[in-house]
């Protein structure tokens, strides 16, 4: 029996379009995803780039209000940009009106370690074939060598973003400490450093499912396993380390009141069309989008593949791992590769994201995949 399929949406802004339209597209896709039988609809949090999901918690509330059954959540809240109380109160507010449907996903982006990394990062070395390494194929799954962040050409935008997203002089908590605060606020056991018991209203007792997100065999994977929480690994962002992250999660897992056994989700970037050639054509500007991120410019408006020039050899070398691991093709092609990813990782669920220039093509990509995967479409009300 096939595992559930869920959707990760960044609300991408296409070249020639607007953030307002991107948000309307997100609501439209979420409503259709519910009808097509997808299990969850998760929103990513990114700032100062051409995606419209920067205020992801606000958008989660809008999506929850526009749907009735599908689970809605964050993939993930960047905890370094939020206080624990603001996270719990915001999710508690949405849960009060849409109870039992929310997934509170937490990621450690923006926390203290990220800041230190930004401050101490060395200038990137020129990209050459010698640093690309060799790509491994594991039972049909492409596993490239890990991407070295030092290859990012310009980190000034990243540092400026961190500064703009925090109050001057603020010191983000360590990830494990902030996770403890979030859990305490949810279960009503929170005590301030001054010894005062505080209760989130709304928030305390909210029927949210807590998730941790990660892309490597590091702190997030270990914490999720040790605390018995569900875990999502970002193969679509870090294909060279995501499989190791799931292994580390399972190795660290201890049963909890939430889970008796590990529950792992792995993400993949897909474009599905009626045939392989059409899908490849629709995905032709994906490399340019990834290059804009890795060059340090941040995600730019998603370009029309019909009008954009090919990547140069130097540009392509910076994004080869992501191009090799994007799953593109006819429904049967994509299903075969997704099934391989699930088989190799033993994932309990797959999370797919699909970015195309035209909204209609993105809708069709998700519809075709739902049909080919065998999702059961919801009956019309």
379: in domain: no
Judged against a pLDDT cut of 50, whether residue 113 lies above it is answered with: no
**What integer best gives the mean pLDDT of the chain?**
92
Give the CB-side neighbour count of residue 275, counting CA atoms within 13 A: 2
284: in domain: yes
380: in domain: no
* Domain housing 186: 5-373
Judged against a pLDDT cut of 50, whether residue 149 lies above it is answered with: yes
pLDDT value for 164: 87
pLDDT value for 163: 82
Q: pLDDT for 153-187, tens place per residue?
A: 788 887 888 888 888 878 888 999 999 999 999 99
Judged against a pLDDT cut of 60, whether residue 218 lies above it is answered with: yes
Span 353-369, average pLDDT: 98
pLDDT value for 100: 97
Which DSSP category does 216 fall into? S
Span 292-306, average pLDDT: 95
Query: Looking at residue 56, which CATH number applies to its domain?
Result: 3.20.20.30
309: in domain: yes
Span 327-352, average pLDDT: 98
Report the alpha-carbon distance of residue 233 to residue 76 in Å, rounded: 11
More confident residue, 285 or 2: 285
Instruction: With cut-offs at 50, 70 and 90, classify the pLDDT of residue 123.
Output: very low
pTM for this structure? 0.93
pLDDT value for 378: 67
pLDDT value for 155: 84
Which residues, 6+ apart, have CB-to-CB distance to 207 below 8 Å?
95, 99, 100, 102
pLDDT value for 170: 80
Report the alpha-carbon distance of residue 43 to residue 236 in Å, rounded: 14
Report the alpha-carbon distance of residue 215 to residue 150 in Å, rounded: 17
Q: pLDDT for 86-109, tens place per residue?
A: 999 999 999 999 999 999 999 987
Q: pLDDT for 183-206, tens place per residue?
A: 999 999 999 999 999 999 999 999
Span 115-143, average pLDDT: 58
Q: pLDDT for 242-295, tens place per residue?
A: 999 999 999 999 999 999 999 999 999 999 999 999 999 999 999 999 999 999
Alpha helices in the chain (DSSP H): 19-36, 56-66, 84-97, 112-120, 156-164, 175-187, 219-227, 242-252, 276-282, 286-294, 313-325, 331-345, 359-373
User: What are the b/e assignments for 257-295, b being 16+ CB within 10 Å?
Assistant: eebeebbbbbbbbbbbbeeeebbebbbbbbbbbbbbbbb
Percent of the chain at pLDDT > 90 equals: 83
Instruction: With cut-offs at 50, 70 and 90, classify the pLDDT of residue 379.
Output: low
Determine if the peptide bond prior to 76 is cis (ω within 30°). yes
pLDDT value for 126: 38
Judged against a pLDDT cut of 70, whether residue 122 lies above it is answered with: no
Judged against a pLDDT cut of 50, whether residue 216 lies above it is answered with: yes
Judged against a pLDDT cut of 50, whether residue 144 lies above it is answered with: yes
381: in domain: no
Q: How many domains does the chain have?
A: 1
Span 297-302, average pLDDT: 94
Span 57-67, average pLDDT: 98
pLDDT value for 282: 98
Classify residue 195 by burial, with Cβ atoms within 10 Å: 0-12, 13-18, 19+.
Answer: exposed
Q: Are 203 and 185 in contact (CB under 8 A)?
A: yes
């Amino acid at each position: 029996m096939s595992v559930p399929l869920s959707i990760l949406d960044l609300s991408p802004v296409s070249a020639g379009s607007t953030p307002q339209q991107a948000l309307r597209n997100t609501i439209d896709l979420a409503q259709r995803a519910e009808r097509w039988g997808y299990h969850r609809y998760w929103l990513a949090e990114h700032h100062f780039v051409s995606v419209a999901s920067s205020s992801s918690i606000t958008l989660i509330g809008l999506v929850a209000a526009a749907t009735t059954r599908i689970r809605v959540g964050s993939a993930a809240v960047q905890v370094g940009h939020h206080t624990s109380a603001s996270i719990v109160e915001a999710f508690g507010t949405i849960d009060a009106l849409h109870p039992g449907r929310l997934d509170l996903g937490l990621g450690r982006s923006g926390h203290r370690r990220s800041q230190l990394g930004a401050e101490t990062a060395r200038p990137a070395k020129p990209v050459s074939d010698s640093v690309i390494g060799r790509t491994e194929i594991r039972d049909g799954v492409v596993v490239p060598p890990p991407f070295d962040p030092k290859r990012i050409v310009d980190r000034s935008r990243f540092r400026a973003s961190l500064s703009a997203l925090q109050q001057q002089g603020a010191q983000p908590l360590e990830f494990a400490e902030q996770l403890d605060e979030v859990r305490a606020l949810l279960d009503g056991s929170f005590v301030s450093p001054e010894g005062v018991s505080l209760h989130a209203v709304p928030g305390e007792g909210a029927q949210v499912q807590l998730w941790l997100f990660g892309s490597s065999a590091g702190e997030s994977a270990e914490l999720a396993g040790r605390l018995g929480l569900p875990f999502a690994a970002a193969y679509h962002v870090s294909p060279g380390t995501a499989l190791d992250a799931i292994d580390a999660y399972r190795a660290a897992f201890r049963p909890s009141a939430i889970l008796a056994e590990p529950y792992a989700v792995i993400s993949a970037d897909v474009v599905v069309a009626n045939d392989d050639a059409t899908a490849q054509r629709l995905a032709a500007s994906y490399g340019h989008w990834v290059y804009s991120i890795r060059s340090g410019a941040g995600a730019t408006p998603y370009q029309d593949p019909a009008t954009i020039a090919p990547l140069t050899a130097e540009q392509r070398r910076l994004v080869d791992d992501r191009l090799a691991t994007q799953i593109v093709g006819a429904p049967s092609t994509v299903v075969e590769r997704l099934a391989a990813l699930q088989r190799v990782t033993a994932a309990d669920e797959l999370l797919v994201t699909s970015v195309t220039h035209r909204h209609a093509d993105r809708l069709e990509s998700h519809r075709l995949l739902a049909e080919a995967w065998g999702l059961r479409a919801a009956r019309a009300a």
